[in-house]
Amino acid sequence: MDSMTLVHLGIDSTDSLTEGMCTTYLGAVLAGRALHAGAVFVDYPNLIRLNPNIPYKTRGNGAVVLRLEVPDSQVQTIVEYAEETVEKLAVFSDPQANPGIAVLTGKVPDLLHHFYERALHRLLTVEEAYTTAEKVGAVLKGYKNKRGVIGALAGVGEPLLHDHTYELLVYRKRENWGRERHVNGESIKKMDKTIEDAFFNYDYEENTVCIAPHTVCPVLAGIRGESAESVLKGFSMADLGEETEEYVIYRTNQHTSFHFEKVTAVGEIEDYSSVIVEGTVSGNPVIIRGGHVFFELENRGVIRCAAFEPTKRFRDIVRRLRVGDTVRAYGGCNRGGENRVKTINLERLDVLTVTHHVYSNPVCPMCGKSMSSEGKGKGFQCKRCKTRKQEKELTEIGREISPGSYEPPPSAWRHLYKMLGRTRTNQGSSPFIENWIKIKDSQ
């Protein structure tokens, strides 16, 4: 009888925003084949989200990892299954799709976990992936420009020993791919309110379903929660509007906010990173065409912060900021340069202090009108009374904002963002529940 080998199998960059497919679906199909071949799962399939600011991502920059115990004689067969499945299902016609496969046997080393952490925060190269793989004894296979090996290897490096959540992904029959989804919103609201550990399934502020994507991918819905039991129960309660045949439960780093890095100054912010930075509002908010709101934040350097139109009413909070307020900004940073202003795309805003006084042109004591500036360093004069004053005056103002934490509505949350309402931290994997997967090839 064969002894068993622990195999970590990572896959990334197989889908297309315009032509469909989903790396999670490809992973589910491969999971079915692995089960049929006698592999034993030591963990739920993992969905590992990486740096959300990467310009090369296909959609959500998520890698899929299967962690299996495989009979020694079947290890190469499982690897061949992975290659066959990728070559059959990946969207090779999309320039953004550059599939990658990573295979590691044995325990995940600290060096590989460090590679994952860098992939969560930085823009890495294919060369770095191959160098790391050689050091840890992993085997990579890349297609086209091979960028997918970065995510595949990084995903293997995150065994989710700390906080994690679960997502049950339901897949459509092939004849429905690309068609409009008709998920029953009332059933999702009922499910969301009934199941305590379910979350991010309905946006009550915008009155919209959050579980259904708007792309041509095979995913019908993704039900999120704190446990495998909660998402499976949610699936049983949801009216998804069409007959479904396949689903799988993923354990994931979604909604953990592990993508954020604390920095002590604006000058420390690196391109493509997601940061937490405190500072003082140094420029009053401005609204531009499209409804986007911007303000400047200063802390040993100045950076622009943005609340874009999809954040909806969150923009009203940002508009109420004034020069002198202190805030803590959370968000991803673009590269900047070449006619682009380096900007933090806000995912959350903590208002620390608000100022109730501003310096403004003095008021004429004779007629009550605001005085006009006579020029830099020349003071102020009332045009009517000719009264003069040298300095601006401190004026009390009313404010429509208070210290506190503010976030966009759920429909604008990124996959990794840990919402204010989620206070739980999940440690370690849970035992498998029955019916955690239903895939044709697993029957």
Domain at 227, CATH number: 3.90.600.20
pLDDT at 210 > cutoff 70: yes
Domain at 20, CATH number: 3.30.70.2200
Last residue of a domain, one of 218, 252, 286: 252
pLDDT at 441 > cutoff 60: no
Averaged pLDDT for residues 157-165? 96
pLDDT tens, position by position, 43-80: 999 999 999 999 888 778 999 999 999 999 889 999 99
Going 308 to 314 to 320 to 321, the CA torsion angle's sign is negative
pLDDT at 1 > cutoff 70: no
pLDDT at 338 > cutoff 80: no
CB 437 within 8 A of CB 31: yes
Of residues 371 and 26, which shows the higher confidence score?
Answer: 26
- Alpha-carbon distance values, 442 to 169, 242, 429 (Å): 16, 22, 22
**Ramachandran sector of residue 160 (left: φ over 0; alpha: ψ -120 to 50; beta: rest):** left
Q: Is the same domain home to 107 and 238?
A: no
- Closest C-alpha among 251, 351, 332 to residue 54: 332
Q: Is the same domain home to 242 and 273?
A: no
- Whole-number pLDDT of residue 429: 77
* DSSP for 95-130, written as a single string: TT---EEEEEESSPPHHHHHHHHHHHHS---HHHHH
Structural domain harbouring 138: 4-163+428-442
Domain at 296, CATH number: 2.40.50.1010
- Alpha-carbon distance values, 163 to 12, 24, 397, 427 (Å): 22, 20, 43, 6
- Whole-number pLDDT of residue 60: 82
- 249: helix, strand or coil: strand
Averaged pLDDT for residues 13-42? 93
Q: Is the same domain home to 12 and 31?
A: yes
368 occurs within a structural domain: no
Q: How many structural domains comprise the chain?
A: 3
Q: How confident is the model at residue 385 (pLDDT cuts 50, 70, 90)?
A: confident
Q: Whole-prediction pTM value?
A: 0.92
Residue 8 structure tokens: 């970590």
Long-range contacts of 306-311 (CB under 8 A, 24+ apart): 306/343, 306/344, 306/345, 306/346, 307/346, 307/408, 308/345, 310/408, 310/411, 310/412, 311/346, 311/408, 311/409, 311/412
Q: Is the same domain home to 42 and 57?
A: yes
* Phi then psi dihedrals of residue 347, to 5 deg: -110, -20
- Whole-number pLDDT of residue 339: 67
Averaged pLDDT for residues 249-271? 97
Q: Which residues pair with 394 in a beta bridge?
A: 359
Q: Where are the beta strands (DSSP E) in 161-217?
A: 165-172, 202-203, 208-209
Q: How confident is the model at residue 404 (pLDDT cuts 50, 70, 90)?
A: very high
> Could you say which DSSP state residue 363 is in?
B
- Closest C-alpha among 226, 189, 227 to residue 211: 189
387 occurs within a structural domain: no
pLDDT at 37 > cutoff 50: yes
Q: Is the same domain home to 113 and 172?
A: no
- Rounded distance between C-alpha atoms, residue 94 and residue 392, angstroms: 60
Last residue of a domain, one of 199, 224, 252: 252
Q: Is the same domain home to 208 and 134?
A: no
Checking DSSP bridges between strand 357-360 and strand 393-396, what pairing results, if any?
antiparallel
For the ranges 105-114, 216-225, 246-255, 389-398, which has the lowest average pLDDT? 389-398
Residue 206 structure tokens: 């915008």
* DSSP for 2-33, written as a single string: --EEEEEEEEE---BTTTB--HHHHHHHHHHH
- 245: helix, strand or coil: strand
Q: Is the same domain home to 245 and 272?
A: no
Q: How confident is the model at residue 284 (pLDDT cuts 50, 70, 90)?
A: very high
pLDDT at 443 > cutoff 50: no
pLDDT at 184 > cutoff 80: yes
pLDDT tens, position by position, 343-383: 999 999 999 999 998 888 888 888 888 889 888 888 988 88
283 occurs within a structural domain: yes
Q: Is the same domain home to 141 and 48?
A: yes
8 occurs within a structural domain: yes
pLDDT tens, position by position, 7-22: 999 999 999 888 889 9
pLDDT at 334 > cutoff 90: no
Q: Is the same domain home to 319 and 285?
A: yes
Q: Is the same domain home to 266 and 317?
A: yes
Averaged pLDDT for residues 302-329? 96
Q: Is the same domain home to 266 and 233?
A: no
